Amino acid sequence: MVKVIASALLGLLLLSGCGYQGGYRYPCQDPKNWEAKECVVPDCLALGLCTKDILGFDPSDPESYKTKDITTQGEANG
- Arithmetic mean of pLDDT, 41-61: 85
DSSP 35: T
Model confidence at 61, pLDDT cuts 50, 70, 90, reads confident
Q: Is-above-0.75 flag for pTM?
A: no
Q: Is the pLDDT of residue 37 over 70?
A: yes
Query: If you ran DSSP here, which 8-state letter would residue 40 be given?
Result: S
Can you say whether residue 22 is alpha, beta or left, with left for phi > 0 and alpha for psi between -120 and 50 degrees?
Answer: left
Query: Are 58 and 51 a contacting pair, CB within 8 Å?
Result: yes
Residue with more model confidence, 74 or 56: 56
The pLDDT score that the predictor gives to residue 68 is 63
